[in-house]
Amino acid sequence: MKSEVLAVLTVLVCSGSCLQCYDRAELLKAKEGIVQCACENNRNCVNNTCWGNYCIYTLVDEVERRGCLPSLEQCHVPDRPGLYCDCCFTNFCNQNSSVPKEDPVEGKYMREILLVAVSLLVLLMVIAAGCLILWLRTKRQRHQLVKDDTSMLKVPIGVDPTYGDIFDEFCTSGSGTGLPYLVQRTMARQISLVECVGKGRYGEVWRGTWMGESVAVKIFSSRDEQSWFRETEIYNTVQLRHENILGFIASDMTSKNSSTQLWLVTHFHELGSLYDFLQYRTLDPESCLCMCLSIASGLVHLHTEILSTQGKPAIAHRDLKSRNILVKRNGQCCIADLGLAVIHSQSNDYLDVGNNPRVGTKRYMAPEVLDESIRVDVFESYKQTDIWALGLVLWEITRRTIVNGIVEEYRPPFFDVVPSDPSFEEMKKVVCVDQYRPSLHNRLHSHPILSAIAKIMKECWFQSPSARLTALRVRKTISKFDQDHDYDIDKLKLDL
């Protein structure tokens, strides 16, 4: 009975600490206990032993103690750093007790293994994310290539704007003079500029909206006023309207930020210039033939003088190149940028070369222009320089035409012999002195269409201007070839 009372009192005075309970138990010296325990570092030990109902081993702040407890409830281990407590109930069971210690070598290896495992997991996640991004990008590019590949797609999804309703509303003749003069003078206030679609030395080209239709607005810089004036003058020529000549709508001047802007408003063709188009598109031979025929047809219309009540003088372009040719949705092209054009009327006996000091593009200049042997007082001389440039444009188109699964990257004429911005002297040496001509790939001779166009190109590049083909002969040759081989050019479309 005495032992039980002492045990109860011990439980009441304990504060939950295993060490405190242990000290109280030793003070009571539970001699009535049934288990003999090892006793160490305790003032109540007798011959390093003691008696109790349970044996205890503690480690507090790296000090080991062993002894006895009367009840199991006193063997409570609080959640406190630096304390370890172990109770047992057989003789001397606490004699060999100790705190389990981590093997330092094994612990080091475990930490290293864990670190390697985490690193590998992170690396795998990064690789997986990279592969996913690469797959998505490849899929998007493949989808874009399929979308952009026009060599196998023929069915049109849209037509070029005709602007017919707009012109009918303003009662124009449709002969090429655009809108009435008074209407043109108010165009800048009626057009909303939407986005800039091109920039160059002359200024900028914007897509605008006018009466629900998209229009192209060419904004000339002030230093290029002569080009704007000349192009306005040319476009106002009667009977200039043709499906392969860029449609003219109006010309106007406006003020913005205290500066004068010179606007030329034309039809809008979303595919942009032939130069831009050939950068990322390829053609099949029939589409190539369609483009070449349309450019030749447009040049024929410019070069031809029409004698009638409202006649049209003959016009030479003087700056024909792929950047000045626009691509229409029906697969044909139209000639643009008449800022350097020359006008000739045989019936009225006059030659108007304009006052624009700007010269043409050096890369497309004919030999007689480069060596300055051109007869500037003869209109035929200017037409012959257009034919030289036409041959170079046809060469650019055929490079991007697929034959037997082979196609070449887009390159400008003479890319292999002159730098990206050649000087006048560099072009003169290549074209006049070396008499170099663009090379033709062997695949062109294996297809009847490309072989015929290659022959036309060579006849456009004769050193002697008088030996070159005329625009009319080029058009007739391509048209006859089309008829002989039963290709329906009118049905060749670009699906976009």
The DSSP string of 48-93 is: TEEEESEEEEEEETTEEEEEEES-GGG----S-TTEEEEEE-STTT
pLDDT above 90 as % of the chain: 43
Domains and CATH numbers, the chain: 2-88 (2.10.60.10), 164-267 (3.30.200.20), 274-491 (1.10.510.10)
Residue 33's identity, in one-letter code, is: G
Give the integer Cα–Cα distance in Å for 129 and 132.
5
Q: What is the predicted pLDDT for the residue at 271?
A: 93
Mean pLDDT computed over 257-269? 86
Q: What is the predicted pLDDT for the residue at 357?
A: 67
SS3 of residue 330 by DSSP: coil
DSSP 8-state class, residue 372? T
Residue range 459-469, pLDDT digits in tens: 999 999 999 99
Q: What is the predicted pLDDT for the residue at 292?
A: 96
Q: What is the predicted pLDDT for the residue at 388?
A: 98
SS3 of residue 347 by DSSP: coil
Of residues 112 and 378, more confidence is placed in 378
* pLDDT-derived band at 259, boundaries 50, 70, 90: confident
* pLDDT-derived band at 485, boundaries 50, 70, 90: low
* pLDDT-derived band at 161, boundaries 50, 70, 90: low
Q: What is the predicted pLDDT for the residue at 160?
A: 55
Q: Is the pLDDT of residue 15 over 60?
A: no
Residues labelled as active-site residues: 319
Which of 342, 216, 328, 331 minimizes the C-alpha distance to 273? 328
Q: Is the pLDDT of residue 492 over 80?
A: no
SS3 of residue 221 by DSSP: coil
- Residue 222: alpha-carbon gap to chain centroid: 32
Q: Dig out the tokens for 221 from the structure.
A: 């810089």
Residue at token pair 């109540």: 44
Cα→Cα distances 188→112, 230, 256, 269, 344, Å: 74, 19, 11, 20, 31
Query: Any idea which of 24-38, 248-262, 284-298 has the lowest mean pLDDT?
Result: 24-38
Mean pLDDT computed over 148-166? 43
Element (H, E) at 480: helix 471-484
Q: What is the predicted pLDDT for the residue at 261?
A: 84
Q: What number of helices (H) and strands (E) belong to the chain?
A: 14, 15
* pLDDT-derived band at 238, boundaries 50, 70, 90: low
Query: Any idea which of 9-18, 80-89, 186-195 has the lowest mean pLDDT?
Result: 9-18
Residue 288's identity, in one-letter code, is: C
What is the pTM (predicted TM-score) of this model? 0.64
**Which residues have C-beta within 8 Å of that of residue 87, sequence separation ≥ 6?**
54, 55, 56, 57, 69, 72, 75
Q: Is the pLDDT of residue 289 over 90?
A: yes
By CB neighbour count within 10 A (0-12 exposed, 13-18 middle, 19+ buried), where does 243 fall?
middle
**Which residues have C-beta within 8 Å of that of residue 494, sequence separation ≥ 6?**
150, 153, 156, 271, 287, 327, 329, 330, 331
Q: What is the predicted pLDDT for the residue at 396?
A: 98
Angle at 171 between CA 162 and CA 215, to 5 degrees: 35
Mean pLDDT computed over 61-87? 77
Query: Any idea which of 76-80, 263-267, 321-325, 406-410 has the lowest mean pLDDT?
Result: 76-80
Give the integer Cα–Cα distance in Å for 252 and 263.
5
CA-based Rg of the chain, rounded to a whole angstrom? 47
